[in-house]
Structure 1
Amino acid sequence: MLDALQLVLLSVIFGGMVTFQILFAPLIFIKLKIDIARPFIRAFFPFYYLYFAALSLAYLIICLFVGDNVQAIIAGVSLLGFIISRQLLMPKANTASDANQKSRFNLLHRATVAINTLQLAAFFAALILI
C-alpha cells in the first residue's frame, strides 16, 4: 500500500512540475499582457513552492516508512530547494525587480530556475529508480 502511495505522490510531483514548465508558465506570458502576467506569476509562485514542498514532505515521509533511502534523499533535498526558493530567493528576486536591479534579478531568477530544473531531473531519476 505504501509503495503505491509513494509512486502516486512521485508521479503527481513530477507531472505537476512538467505541466508547469512546459505548459503553464509559457502560456502565461504568451496569452496575458505583461502588466497582468508579471503580478500573476509573482502571486502564483509562493503557492507553487508551498504546494510542491508539501508534496515533497509527504513523499519524504512515505519514503522513510518504506525504507527507501535514495528516494528519501531526493525528496529531502528537493524539499529544501522549494523552501530556499520560496523563502529566500523569490523575495530577493522580487525586491531586485522592484528596484530595477536587472542583473541581480536575473541572477536570482536563474538560481530558482536552476533549482527547479535540478528538482525536476531528480524526480525523473526517482521515477526511473522505482
Structure 2
Amino acid sequence: MTVLALLVTALLFGGMVLYSFGFAAFLFNALQPDEAGRLLRRACPHFYLFVLGASALAAALRFPGDLIGAALLAAVAVTVIPARQVLMPAINAASDAGDKRRFGLLYGGSVMLTLTHIALSAWALARFI
C-alpha cells in the first residue's frame, strides 16, 4: 500500500506541476492569448477532476500509515471541489463580462490555491522519506 500511495502522491504532484508550469505556459507561447485562454477554459474542469481523484485516492491510501500526510492530501481534495464548482465558473463569468478587475482577483486566487495544492502535495510526498 505504501508504494501505491507514494506513486499516486507523486502523480498528483507531478501532474499539478506539469499542468501549471508546463502546459499552461506552453499554450500561451504557442497560441494567441484568446485561443490559449479558450483551451485552458476547456482543460480546467478536467484538471480539477484529476486533482480531486488523485488527491482523494492518495489520502485514502496514505491514511493507515501517515495521518498527517493523509490529512494534507484530503485538504487538497476537499478544497479543489469549491475551486471547480464555484471559483472556476466565477472566473469564466468575469472573463465573459469583460470585468478585468474581478477576473484578475479571482484568477489570482485560483493561482494561489493551486500553488497551495502543489505545496501540500509536496509536503505529503516529502513525508515518505
TM-score normalised over the length of structure 2: 0.94
1:11-26 equivalence runs, <5 A: 11-26=10-25
The answer to whether residue 30 in structure 2 is matched with residue 27 in structure 1 is no
Counterpart of 2:75 in structure 1 is 77
Contact kept, 8 Å, 2:55 with 2:74, in 1: the verdict is yes
What are the ranges of 5 or more consecutive residues in structure 1 without an aligned counterpart?
none
User: Partners of 2:37 and 2:20 in 1: how far apart?
Assistant: 16
Contact kept, 8 Å, 2:73 with 2:124, in 1: the verdict is no
Letter in 2 for 1:7: L
Deviates more, 1:39-48 or 1:76-85: 76-85
User: Partners of 2:123 and 2:58 in 1: how far apart?
Assistant: 15
The answer to whether residue 27 in structure 2 is matched with residue 38 in structure 1 is no
Counterpart of 2:9 in structure 1 is 10
Letter in 2 for 1:28: L
Deviation at 1:34, TM superposition (A): 2.1
Letter in 2 for 1:129: R
The number of equivalent residue pairs is 128
Letter in 2 for 1:121: A
Counterpart of 1:114 in structure 2 is 112
User: Partners of 2:98 and 2:34 in 1: how far apart?
Assistant: 15
Question: What per-residue deviation string (whole Å, max 9, x for no partner) do you get for residues 33-68 of structure 1?
Answer: 22321111100000000111011111121122x242
Letter in 2 for 1:120: I
Letter in 1 for 2:5: Q
Deviates more, 1:76-85 or 1:113-122: 76-85
User: Partners of 2:59 and 2:127 in 1: how far apart?
Assistant: 15
Q: Pick from 83, 93, 96: which aligns with 1:95?
A: 93
User: Partners of 1:122 and 1:60 in 2: how far apart?
Assistant: 12
> Segments of 4+ in structure 1 off by > 3 A?
none
TM-score normalised over the length of structure 1: 0.94
Deviation at 1:20, TM superposition (A): 1.4
Contact kept, 8 Å, 2:70 with 2:124, in 1: the verdict is no
User: Partners of 2:56 and 2:9 in 1: how far apart?
Assistant: 11
Counterpart of 1:62 in structure 2 is 61
